């Protein structure tokens, strides 16, 4: 801590930061552009100028850039000095000299950092009379609009895209005041984090194209604190709605998870909520609609009449909905609804997390790792936001170099100059190339068996006692030794794996590395296991039978009625199996929000809410229980799943809070979930928190085409939030804050005003409750006791040329069910293919585009060949999770070409 003086006031501050960050943390308004909390300082825009005095006597001082000035004990500054103010106004004036002033038609208007900063400096009168320079815009693909004339050349976009995300196709071109930020030719921005440009750009150059199609000003959006439903990372989001349509997703800062950034799947995948495949009314096979009451009666009667009711739960439904199903059917009839291999893998992961000496690293902790071993998981495609954090972790070596040279870590350009391409060790073992390979120390490509063997070999190098000897080829062994030594000598090593390679052996091998490492270091190892869906871990923690057992129960005639909760079983098991199951069951009731193939075969389909119209709790891959809130009330016959289930089961639940509490009481694993967010009765000075901004406009006229009077705002008895613009403005706990705004701060940068330390934790703590912490059990037992399946791992060299091992390949756009219904995302999705290594292809006399037949999941497929030079030889890759082509295999499958 240090004492400094700003404009005659004394402040107690942390040393080592730059002055700009310090000022903003003291809630002093100081304008800036090129600085960004996640990107550091480069001193380009010259907007944050202040006066620094040399000592107590100095009266004149000199102009310095606050973002480039480290603060230390005794320093004196002035923000208010007329020279500093004049300079800042001058900078804005220059930035605005070419700006088109098109705020009325600019989609950034109302949440524009440039507007805010212009206001802040007081620049109102324009002296420049020259012509403005103009640019031609580019088509940057389905996600992002481009309007270059608005550019103020702060360079944030390219720094974010290249330096932070590792993107290569967004650049700055030309020089002087002709600098142009774009691609070298029209085309979709390739990087899967391009969407953040919308928030990174301080003006309206890059805006959300999906939002444009149903644009609404920020102040007219109704929002709620929510969680991204598109993977297991659990990024916090702020979805915005108007007129019953979900309009867009904005980032909601979380200090331990997503920080400032989302992935494009999360940002642009929301449109399933507006999809024409949404179910608005209950559907009865061969029957006219019954109306709400009728349907509830029908459902209850059906349940009363039947014996042998089983429930199939959902990894994408809330804990509460799953719990309600479990209550209804009983634990013994409760099936988890994972695919076969997922079920085994997730169980293994849960085992490691619960019993092992491991601790799941949050993304913030991932970013601090100084040696990483990534085994078998293509993180960039299965948990993209985690990949972005892994990329940042690589910079720890750069920070170490900078520390040695006494260069502050926030001196972004300086740190990069010193460190060049040196990075912390990252080892990636995968089927094919990954989008983190560019920063990897070493990569290894193999099939599931080799990957598992590599894992076990690393474990053996960490602790030879952990593993009986196994034959390894020397090259492989040498790599394992290097990985082991990097992990051993690191201060914060991290193991990353997951369900992606669909091989329990790989998962276990990763678990063993973590356990042995913990044993060696005498403290829990940091791990992150990637799981497929937003509540995969929560559902696994609830526990239940497998889907296969549900199939058996019906086949054996033990079960007659099946309730399928928010789950398309065709994505979970082979088509013939599912078809058979649904046909054999006497009654099939599906509760879901989308009309999928399973729903189409049901006798009764009950319309459920999506995450946007409901409240609930999910458990992320970090083991963090997080609450999401309804953005807008459901319409028509749409109801929360737990309500359908509760009513039919005769439960007296009136609000979700009661379900959450019941769940927490009944299932010890979930004891802490009630604290994931403040309870429904939470008030600030007696007031609820409004979902609408206080400038929300046109409320009285919103339905004027249909009604003559102003409709009453829907009440929300369930939560501390209100469907209203009235209520508490300040003091909102982070878990309940729908969006950020502070006086003078209308853009997403307002979040700086809500953090205890900028870029750190939110004031009041980052929301959510971690449910799993390292166990106190003796690590050595686990470290040695998991060597099970090693003998079964046939090395690839034993494989026959005519027998290729089929493996799933993931796609950030395409492998996830819900996001695929967003038209923009669908545009970026690959077509089905069968990927082959060029040598395998030529051995089989196949070339790109040839059609081949394969049998997968009990079905015949005809697929075009895709030559993938970076795929392991001996593997044949199939895109995972494409609609109708979900990967459902359990255990090794081969593409057999006869032999």
Cβ 584 to another protein, closest distance in Å?
A: 51
Looking at beta carbons only, is 69 or 749 nearer to another protein?
A: 69
CA atoms within 13 A on the CB side of 544: 31
Q: Which residues face 529 on adjacent strands?
A: 497
Single residue of 59, 127, 469, 708 touching another protein by CB under 8 A: 127
Looking at beta carbons only, is 117 or 516 nearer to ligand SF4?
A: 117
97 touching another protein, by CB under 8 A = yes
Q: Which residues face 855 on adjacent strands?
A: 860
Residue 306, number of CB atoms within 10 A of its CB: 16
Cβ 199 to ligand SF4, closest distance in Å?
A: 10
Which entry of ligand SF4, another protein, none binds 170, CB below 5 to 8 A by partner kind?
A: another protein
Single residue of 119, 169, 437, 597 touching another protein by CB under 8 A: 169
Looking at beta carbons only, is 16 or 650 nearer to another protein?
A: 16
Which entry of another protein, ligand SF4, none binds 243, CB below 5 to 8 A by partner kind?
A: none
117 touching another protein, by CB under 8 A = no
Single residue of 72, 173, 330, 864 touching another protein by CB under 8 A: 173
Cβ 431 to another protein, closest distance in Å?
A: 24
Three-class DSSP category at 486: helix
Q: Which residues face 879 on adjacent strands?
A: 809
Looking at beta carbons only, is 155 or 399 nearer to ligand SF4?
A: 155
Which entry of ligand SF4, another protein, none binds 157, CB below 5 to 8 A by partner kind?
A: ligand SF4
115 touching ligand SF4, by CB under 6 A = no
Looking at beta carbons only, is 99 or 571 nearer to ligand SF4?
A: 99
125 touching another protein, by CB under 8 A = no
Exposure string of 259-296, with b = 16+ CB inside 10 Å and e = fewer, is bbbbbbbbbbbbbbbbbeebbebbbbeeeeebeeeebb
The single-letter DSSP state of residue 777 is S
Cβ 99 to ligand SF4, closest distance in Å?
A: 9
Looking at beta carbons only, is 171 or 368 nearer to ligand SF4?
A: 171
46 touching another protein, by CB under 8 A = yes
Looking at beta carbons only, is 178 or 654 nearer to another protein?
A: 178
Looking at beta carbons only, is 171 or 890 nearer to another protein?
A: 171
What residues have CB less than 8 Å from 609, skipping those under 6 apart?
Answer: 593, 630, 634, 638, 639, 640, 641
User: How far apart, in whole angstroms, are the C-alpha atoms of residue 611 and residue 819?
Assistant: 13
CA atoms within 13 A on the CB side of 668: 0
90 touching another protein, by CB under 8 A = yes
User: How far apart, in whole angstroms, are the C-alpha atoms of residue 886 and residue 233?
Assistant: 21
Single residue of 205, 458, 534, 806 touching ligand SF4 by CB under 6 A: 205
Cβ 811 to another protein, closest distance in Å?
A: 21
Residue 632, number of CB atoms within 10 A of its CB: 22
Interface with another protein: number of residues (CB under 8 A): 50
Contact 702, 670 (CB under 8 A): no
Cβ 29 to ligand SF4, closest distance in Å?
A: 20
User: How far apart, in whole angstroms, are the C-alpha atoms of residue 338 and residue 328?
Assistant: 19
What residues have CB less than 8 Å from 826, skipping those under 6 apart?
Answer: 813, 820
Looking at beta carbons only, is 151 or 818 nearer to ligand SF4?
A: 151
Three-class DSSP category at 863: strand
What residues have CB less than 8 Å from 311, skipping those under 6 apart?
Answer: 325, 326, 328, 329, 333, 334, 335, 562, 563, 564, 565
611 touching ligand SF4, by CB under 6 A = no
Q: Tokens at residue 246, please?
A: 């979900």
Single residue of 228, 302, 419, 490 touching another protein by CB under 8 A: 419
The single residue listed with the structure tokens 């439904």 is 317
Which entry of ligand SF4, another protein, none binds 183, CB below 5 to 8 A by partner kind?
A: another protein
Looking at beta carbons only, is 207 or 546 nearer to ligand SF4?
A: 207
Residue 600, number of CB atoms within 10 A of its CB: 14
Contact 218, 108 (CB under 8 A): no
User: How far apart, in whole angstroms, are the C-alpha atoms of residue 866 and residue 837?
Assistant: 9
Q: Which residues face 545 on adjacent strands?
A: 335
433 touching another protein, by CB under 8 A = no
Q: How long a stretch of residues is the chain?
A: 899
Three-class DSSP category at 862: strand
57 touching another protein, by CB under 8 A = no
Looking at beta carbons only, is 38 or 292 nearer to ligand SF4?
A: 38
Which entry of ligand SF4, another protein, none binds 201, CB below 5 to 8 A by partner kind?
A: ligand SF4
Looking at beta carbons only, is 107 or 412 nearer to another protein?
A: 412
Cβ 258 to another protein, closest distance in Å?
A: 27
User: How far apart, in whole angstroms, are the C-alpha atoms of residue 237 and residue 588?
Assistant: 34
**Which span (13-21, 92-100, 760-768, 836-844) binds another protein, by CB under 8 A?**
92-100
Question: Which residues within the stretch 167-196 sit at the binding site for ligand SF4 (CB under 6 A)?
Answer: 181
- Judge residue 179's burial from the number of C-beta atoms within 10 Å of its C-beta, 0-12 exposed, 13-18 middle, 19 or more buried: middle
Cβ 377 to ligand SF4, closest distance in Å?
A: 32
Residue 502, number of CB atoms within 10 A of its CB: 26
Binding mask 137-166 for ligand SF4 (x = CB under 6 A): --------------xxxxxxx---------
Question: Which residues within the stretch 282-321 sit at the binding site for another protein (CB under 8 A)?
Answer: none
Helix (H) and strand (E) counts in the chain:
27, 36
Alpha helices in 217-282 (DSSP H): 264-268
Torsion on CA atoms 261, 228, 824, 886, rounded to nearest 10: 120
Single residue of 20, 71, 153, 374 touching another protein by CB under 8 A: 153
Q: Tokens at residue 262, please?
A: 């989302």
Which entry of ligand SF4, another protein, none binds 203, CB below 5 to 8 A by partner kind?
A: ligand SF4
117 touching ligand SF4, by CB under 6 A = no
Q: Which residues face 254 on adjacent strands?
A: 259
- 769 phi and psi, to 5 degrees? -125, 125
Interface with ligand SF4: number of residues (CB under 6 A): 13
Which residues of this protein are in contact with ligand SF4, per CB under 6 A? 151-157, 181, 200-203, 205
Which residues of this protein are in contact with another protein, per CB under 8 A? 42-47, 49, 62-64, 68, 87, 90-91, 94-95, 97-98, 127-130, 152-153, 155, 168-180, 183-185, 405, 407, 411, 413-414, 417-420
């Amino acid at each position: 801590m240090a004492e400094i003086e700003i404009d005659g006031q004394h402040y107690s501050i942390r040393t080592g930061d730059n002055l700009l960050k310090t000022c903003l943390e003291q809630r002093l308004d100081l304008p800036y552009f090129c600085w960004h909390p996640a990107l550091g300082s480069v001193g380009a825009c010259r907007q944050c100028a202040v006066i620094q005095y040399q000592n107590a006597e100095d009266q004149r001082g000199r102009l310095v850039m606050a973002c480039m000035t480290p603060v230390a004990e005794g320093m004196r500054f002035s923000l208010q000095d007329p020279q500093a103010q004049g300079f800042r106004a001058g900078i804005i004036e220059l930035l605005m000299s070419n700006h088109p002033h098109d705020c009325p038609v600019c989609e950034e208007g109302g949440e524009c950092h440039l507007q805010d900063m212009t206001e802040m400096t007081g620049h109102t009168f324009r002296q420049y009379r020259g012509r403005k320079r103009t640019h031609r815009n580019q088509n940057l693909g389905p996600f992002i609009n481009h309007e270059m004339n608005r550019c103020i050349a702060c360079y944030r976009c390219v720094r974010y895209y290249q330096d932070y995300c590792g993107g290569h196709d967004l650049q700055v071109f030309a020089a002087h005041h002709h600098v142009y930020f774009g691609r070298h030719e029209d085309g979709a921005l390739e990087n899967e984090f391009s969407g953040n440009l919308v928030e990174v750009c301080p003006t309206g150059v890059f805006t959300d194209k999906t939002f444009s199609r149903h644009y609404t000003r920020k102040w007219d959006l109704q929002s709620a604190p929510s969680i991204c439903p598109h993977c297991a990372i659990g990024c916090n989001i702020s979805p915005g709605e108007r007129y019953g349509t979900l309009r867009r997703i904005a980032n909601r800062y979380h200090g331990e998870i997503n920080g400032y950034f989302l992935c494009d799947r999360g940002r642009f995948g929301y449109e399933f909520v507006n999809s024409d495949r949404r179910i608005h009314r209950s559907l009865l096979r061969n029957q006219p609609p019954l109306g709400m009451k009728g349907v509830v009666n029908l459902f209850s009667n059906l349940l009363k009449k039947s014996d042998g009711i089983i429930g199939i739960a959902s990894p994408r439904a809330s804990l509460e909905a799953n719990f309600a199903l479990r209550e209804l059917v009983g634990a013994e009839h409760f099936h988890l609804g994972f695919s076969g291999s997922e079920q085994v893998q997730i169980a293994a992961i849960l085992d490691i997390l619960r019993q092992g000496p491991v601790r799941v690293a949050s993304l913030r902790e991932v970013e601090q790792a100084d040696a990483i071993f990534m085994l078998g998981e293509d993180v960039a495609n299965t948990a993209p936001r985690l990949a972005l954090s892994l990329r940042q972790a690589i910079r720890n070596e750069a920070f170490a170099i900078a520390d040695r040279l006494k260069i502050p870590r926030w001196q972004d350009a300086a740190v990069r100059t010193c460190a060049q391409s040196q990075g912390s060790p990252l080892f990636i073992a995968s089927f094919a190339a990954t989008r983190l390979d560019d920063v990897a120390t070493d990569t290894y490509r193999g099939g599931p068996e080799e990957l598992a063997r590599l894992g076990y070999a690393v474990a053996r190098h960490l602790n030879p006692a952990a593993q009986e000897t196994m034959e390894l080829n020397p090259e492989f062994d040498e790599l394992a030794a290097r990985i082991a030594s990097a992990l051993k000598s690191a201060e914060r090593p991290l193991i990353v794996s997951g369900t992606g390679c669909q091989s329990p052996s790989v998962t276990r091998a990763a678990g063993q590395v973590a356990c042995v490492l913990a044993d060696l270091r005498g403290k829990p190892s940091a791990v992150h296991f990637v799981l497929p869906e937003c509540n995969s871990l929560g559902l696994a923690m609830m526990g239940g039978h497998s889907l296969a057992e549900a199939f058996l129960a019906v086949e054996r005639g033990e079960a007659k009625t099946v309730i399928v909760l928010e789950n398309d079983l065709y994505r979970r098991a082979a088509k013939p199996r599912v078809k058979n199951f649904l046909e054999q069951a006497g009654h099939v009731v599906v509760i879901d929000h989308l009309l999928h193939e399973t729903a189409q075969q049901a006798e009764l389909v009950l319309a459920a809410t999506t995450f946007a119209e409901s409240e609930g709790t999910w458990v992320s891959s970090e083991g963090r229980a997080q609450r999401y809130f309804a953005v807008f009330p459901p319409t028509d016959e749409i109801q929360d799943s737990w309500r359908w289930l509760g009513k039919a089961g005769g439960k007296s639940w009136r609000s979700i809070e009661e379900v959450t509490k019941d769940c927490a009481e009944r299932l010890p694993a979930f004891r802490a979930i009630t604290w994931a967010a403040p309870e429904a009765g939470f008030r600030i000075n007696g007031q609820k928190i409004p979902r609408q901004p206080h400038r929300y406009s046109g409320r009285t006229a919103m339905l004027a085409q249909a009604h003559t009077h102003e409709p009453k705002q829907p009440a929300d008895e369930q939560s501390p939030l209100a469907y209203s613009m009235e209520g508490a403005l300040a003091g909102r706990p982070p878990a309940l804050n729908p969006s950020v705004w502070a006086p003078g701060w209308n853009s997403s940068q307002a979040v700086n005003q809500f953090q205890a330390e900028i870029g750190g934790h939110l004031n009041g703590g980052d929301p959510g409750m971690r449910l799993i912490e390292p166990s106190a059990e003796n690590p050595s037992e686990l470290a040695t006791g998991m060597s099970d399946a090693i003998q079964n791992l046939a090395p690839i060299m034993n494989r026959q040329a005519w027998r290729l091992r089929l493996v799933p390949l993931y796609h950030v756009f395409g492998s996830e069910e819900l996001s695929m219904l967003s038209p923009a995302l669908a545009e970026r999705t690959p077509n089905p293919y069968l990927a082959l290594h060029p040598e395998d292809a030529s051995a089989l006399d196949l070339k790109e585009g040839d059609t081949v037949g394969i049998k997968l999941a009990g079905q015949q497929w005809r697929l075009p060949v895709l030559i993938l030079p970076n795929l392991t030889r001996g593997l044949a890759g199939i895109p995972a999770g494409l609609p109708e082509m979900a990967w459902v295999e359990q255990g090794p499958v081969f593409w057999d070409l006869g032999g």
